[in-house]
Amino acid sequence: MPNHPDLTVRKIAGALGAELLGPDLAAGLTDDIVIHIRRALLENLVVFFRDQSLTPAQFQAFASCFGTPVEYPFVKGIDGFPEIIQVAKLEHETMNFGGIWHSDTVYLDRPPMGSLLQAQELPPYGGDTLFANQYLAYETLSEGMKGTLDGLVAVNSSAKADVTRTREDRRTDSGRDDAKTGYVSEHPVIRTHPETGRKALYVNIAHTVRFTTMTEEESAPILQYLHAHQVKPEFTCRFAWKPGSIAFWDNRCTLHNPVNDYHGFHRIMHRITLAGDTPR
């Protein structure tokens, strides 16, 4: 497919990540440019837009070009938009929302295919987000480790202690009345991407508890190795937010981690997740 004349793709790192320059998202997108943005997402795993000023309705309309927005199970959406949640850290808080390497809501039976994050209010410094390529994480494993992991299924839980603490403040001030105490899922450790056909490592330190055929104690050494391996610097990119920035990442083959380095300041973002399929 030839490049689109109104879209320039500028890679920001060797492993993943690209800025998409040109489109005015508030003005709406043609079918043709939607196709090109999706292609850029599949090729780069996470794409970024700069200098965009979107109302909640425009943000949701943009997200809906690529999938169906779904509600987050623990936190209410903003007024009038139940699928848009506020991701916030306030001046007095020390934990940030989701401040650990993870893939969004892997503890659900059908985790989202992608997530979009829009900057609302930013600290004077810090608050960058890191992303990690899980295709590379899988492809760089030894053949022996690939063989060990092939066919294994992981148990994922929303109740792991570290990630629970990162959402505690938001559950207190905007928690959903119908939220369950916890969610548990079972997904393959090696996931095949439904669109690209590539294999990706599909565990994360925030949610993965153990392998179905092993105890937590038996699983721990392998998971500890995988968690360190999957976020090696050469698999990552780092995005510095500015007013008007939007990030859109493929939740099926990336991890992300918001850096918690701006104590005493607040950071307010809006997030939408898009419905996904059952990992296979």
- Residue-wise pLDDT tens digits, 107-144: 999 999 999 999 999 999 999 999 999 999 999 999 99
Identify the bridge partners of residue 257 per DSSP, sorted by sequence position: 130
Give the least confident one: 19-33, 162-176, 232-246. 162-176
pTM to 2 decimal places: 0.94
All structural domains of the chain, each given as residue ranges with its CATH number in brackets, are 8-274 (3.60.130.10)
- The per-residue DSSP string of 102-142 comes to B-TTTTSSS--SEEEEEEEE--SS---EEEEEHHHHHHTS-
Nearest residue to 63 via CA among 83, 77, 43: 83
What contacts 24+ positions apart, CB below 8 Å, involve 95-98? 95/165, 95/166, 95/168, 95/169, 95/260, 96/166, 96/258, 96/260, 96/267, 97/166, 97/167, 97/169, 97/170, 97/258, 98/163, 98/166, 98/167, 98/206, 98/258
Q: What is the pLDDT of residue 120?
A: 97
| In the predicted structure, residue 23 carries a pLDDT above the cut 90 | yes
Q: What is the pLDDT of residue 202?
A: 98
| In the predicted structure, residue 170 carries a pLDDT above the cut 60 | no
Any idea which residues carry the catalytic annotation? 102, 104, 256, 271
Task: Name residue, tokens 């994480």.
Answer: 137
Q: What is the pLDDT of residue 167?
A: 56
Q: What is the pLDDT of residue 164?
A: 65
Q: What is the pLDDT of residue 65?
A: 98
Tell me the average pLDDT across 58-76: 96
Q: What is the pLDDT of residue 160?
A: 87
CA separation for the pair 259, 83 (Å, rounded): 24
Would you say 237 and 90 are in contact if contact means Cβ atoms under 8 Å apart? no
Average pLDDT over the chain, rounded to an integer: 94
